[in-house]
Structure 1
Amino acid sequence: MRNPIKIDNNYIGEDFSPYIIAEMSGNHNGDIDRAKELIKQAKQAGASAVKMQTYTADTMTIDCDKDDFQIKGGLWDGKNLYQLYEWAHTPWNWHQVLFSYANDLGITLFSSPFDETAVDFLESLNAPAYKIASFELVDHPLIAKVAKTKKPIILSTGMATYDEIAEAIKVAKNNGNEELIVLHCISGYPTPIAESNLSTITKLKKDFGVQVGLSDHTLGTTASVAATVLGATVIEKHFTLKRADGGPDAAFSLEPNELQQLCNTTKDAWLSLGQANYELKKAETPNLQFRRSVYVVEDIKKGDTFNEKNIRRIRPGFGLQPKYYNELLGSTATKNISKGTPMRWDLCTKKT
């Protein structure tokens, strides 16, 4: 059993219902009031946290139209990288306002930093945790910088090889941080559910001995529920107010009612796991009476022999268990017994 990790007032681990992160990303569409509404709706839906992304176009790339910087195909076709990040970024002067707003609402807000200046900035705001995005998993200096904050780190593994995941975890640990959660992730936007490969969750847990979750880019919530059953302790999903409003990630984001469904169904999936045991459950107790047992089905006089005609294995279950039926056959009645009497040992003499 891996040790629980605490972010703000929430414990994350196998003994707790899944930690649900609503990823705002650029779905605020450049409107701080919309960003606030996203935080509010995430809280109302039951999410554990909202996550932002902390970068500027200039900290991500350079403004260049050479072919290397062009996006071809997919949701962002036709833009260059600088244009995408200029469109999608969350202005840094919003951060303090949004952190305070989330705190007032009672929901955790944290972010993915994309360079060291972003880490310093988020530290000034006392961010409670950090997420390393899939595309930055190979940026070891950034991971080292985040690790040294000693705050929980969530590492997303989209596109990463086994060795790259192992290296990222090693960098974090070598810089003094064991508070790690690794998210299985497929960096397809959206990801076809047939390519989810959720079995990777159990392998990550086994191979690296860390808590494992899912950064889910599939449509709907099926993959997240299945991941919970496989032991995912964290589920991250992109979130918007309304897909029809558009936005950088709107096409594969959940709306508020869907986020609420995600929170409810993953919790139910976690509750359904319970513990492996064969004890009688409370919900089963009333139905014990409807099991089969041995009953007298004809009036019997003292001294009569029990046979296949006068005793049967029938419902309800107040008599001796059916496994004793053959032992009862051929024994004799110790008293007069009326039809419909449940069999007891005191009603018969054992065969010699």
Structure 2
Amino acid sequence: MIWADSTTVSQRVRVIAEAGVNHNGSLDLALRLVDAAAEAGADAVKFQTFKASAIVSRFASKASYQKETTGTNESQLEMVRKLELPLQDHHALLTHCKQRSIEFLSTPFDRQSARFLICELGLERIKLASGEITNAPLLLAVAQLGKPVILSTGMSTLAEVENALGVLAFGYLGSLAPPDGAVFRDAFVSSAGQSMLAERVSLLHCTTEYPAPFEQVNLRTMDTLAVAFSLPVGLSDHTLGIAVPIAAVARGACIIEKHFTLDKTMPGPDHRASLEPAELAAMVSGIRQVEAALGSPVKRPSQAELSNRSVARKSLVALRPVQRGEVFSDGNLGCKRPGQGLSPFMFWDTLGRAAVRDFDEDEPIEY
């Protein structure tokens, strides 16, 4: 099953601490990242699984932010080769995650890596990166393995998201028809396909830039995704700081993914736009506070408020000494704390009435 149902108010928000490639190829550093994520209170720590030569051609250039963080002397392929996490290291990380009671997740970037994560490591769900939303062969291979998918949607249009969901639906249904656009569309619109997607897919809104400018985050897009596809929606956040993911939870995000590192000054493409451990812990704490604060949509006094009502509200009182039989008017009738007597809503009903007894100044009115 997927992690969260976006229609359930009390559902716990799941926090994915994105270690990504911030291990710099070191198992020791990767294990320390697991520790930091667990100590920060994250629900899962996520890495990336790939064979560089299978996903990057020798002609691929670096992204602008990668050139800024790692220079221009090496190609993207050369950079990515140094960030591979050997398959044997995955076993060690999985074991360590179990010891630290945090879920191990990873993003596969090729079909062989997806099969390794699900068939050998036994992962219960797969996270797919924004760059793979048009990689139909990978989407299909992952869906055919039957596990739930968390799909990031950075750089995409609604139509591209729908196309990707069509591939996933087709794969989940186990159809024997030859794959093509028409059968993907049929799978997406079918009741069985929609049921499979609802059971197994979550979407993450994302702005694929490192760091992402605040004015280009467009958190309202989460609402659009939720309405368009009736699926749980969260945020994969690349902004600096922790304000945006906390705000996303207030807007209904059920999953938050955020890059983190042990040290932002480390060499590598993603460290600079990542949180350090103390910031990650602060983000998790803020998310927990916001999800607790969301509470119920019913407007009624909370338990914590009840004892304060009589203190904060007012009652009808005599503004000066009033003798028995004297008529109440604007000059001798007013509203003051505490709210233990007649409600100020009775003010106009009381005007013109004769006092039933003597009242001292500030004494609550009765009749």
- Specify every segment of 5 or more residues in structure 1 that has no aligned partner in the other structure, as ranges: 348-352
1:325 and 2:320 matched: no
User: Which deviates more, 329-338 or 53-62?
Assistant: 329-338
In the other structure, the counterpart of 1:5 is 2
In the other structure, the counterpart of 2:129 is 133
In the other structure, the counterpart of 2:34 is 39
1:99-178 mapped onto 2 (5 Å cutoff): 99-123=94-118, 124-176=120-172, 177-178=196-197
1:316 and 2:338 matched: yes
Displacement of 1:72 in angstroms is 6.0
In the other structure, the counterpart of 1:51 is 46
- How many residue pairs are counted as aligned between the two chains? 334
Task: Name which of 311, 322, 328 aligns with 1:300.
Answer: 322
Task: Tell me if the contact between 2:40 and 2:281 (Cα under 8 Å) persists in the aligned partners.
Answer: yes
1:202-351 mapped onto 2 (5 Å cutoff): 202-288=223-309, 289-344=311-366, 347=367
Hey, which bits of structure 1, 4+ residues long, moved more than 6 A?
A: none
Task: Tell me if the contact between 1:12 and 1:18 (Cα under 8 Å) persists in the aligned partners.
Answer: no
Displacement of 1:192 in angstroms is 0.8
Give the 3 Å change call, closer, same or farther, for CA 73–5 of structure 1 in structure 2: closer
Task: Tell me if the contact between 1:131 and 1:153 (Cα under 8 Å) persists in the aligned partners.
Answer: yes
In the other structure, the counterpart of 2:62 is 71
CA distance in 2, matches of 1:337, 1:187: 71
User: Which deviates more, 161-170 or 12-21?
Assistant: 12-21
CA distance in 1, matches of 2:160, 2:131: 12
1:25 and 2:16 matched: no
Displacement of 1:12 in angstroms is 6.0
In the other structure, the counterpart of 1:350 is none
**CA shift digits 1:119-156 (9 cap, x unpaired):** 12112110121011111111112112111222220001
User: Which deviates more, 149-158 or 207-216?
Assistant: 149-158
Q: TM-score, normalised by structure 2?
A: 0.86
1:185-200 mapped onto 2 (5 Å cutoff): 185-200=206-221
Displacement of 1:32 in angstroms is 0.6
Q: Which amino acid aligns with 2:41?
A: G
SS at match of 1:38: helix
SS at match of 2:66: coil
Q: TM-score, normalised by structure 1?
A: 0.90
Displacement of 1:329 in angstroms is 1.1
Give the 3 Å change call, closer, same or farther, for CA 137–150 of structure 1 in structure 2: same
CA distance in 1, matches of 2:61, 2:330: 85
Identity, % of aligned pairs? 34
Determine which structure has the larger helix proportion and give its number: 2
CA distance in 1, matches of 2:63, 2:288: 39
Displacement of 1:284 in angstroms is 2.1
User: Which deviates more, 224-233 or 302-311?
Assistant: 302-311
**CA shift digits 1:171-221 (9 cap, x unpaired):** 112222421110101111111111101110011001110011111011111
Task: Tell me if the contact between 1:25 and 1:51 (Cα under 8 Å) persists in the aligned partners.
Answer: yes
Give the 3 Å change call, closer, same or farther, for CA 72–318 of structure 1 in structure 2: closer
Task: Name which of 96, 106, 114 aligns with 2:91.
Answer: 96
**CA shift digits 1:1-37 (9 cap, x unpaired):** xxx734xxxx564432321111111111121111001
Task: Tell me if the contact between 1:40 and 1:105 (Cα under 8 Å) persists in the aligned partners.
Answer: yes
Displacement of 1:276 in angstroms is 2.1
Task: Tell me if the contact between 1:12 and 1:234 (Cα under 8 Å) persists in the aligned partners.
Answer: no
CA distance in 1, matches of 2:319, 2:56: 86
**CA shift digits 1:58-116 (9 cap, x unpaired):** 22123x3xxx4232632234232211210222111201111111111110001111111
Task: Give the superposed CA RMSD.
Answer: 1.7
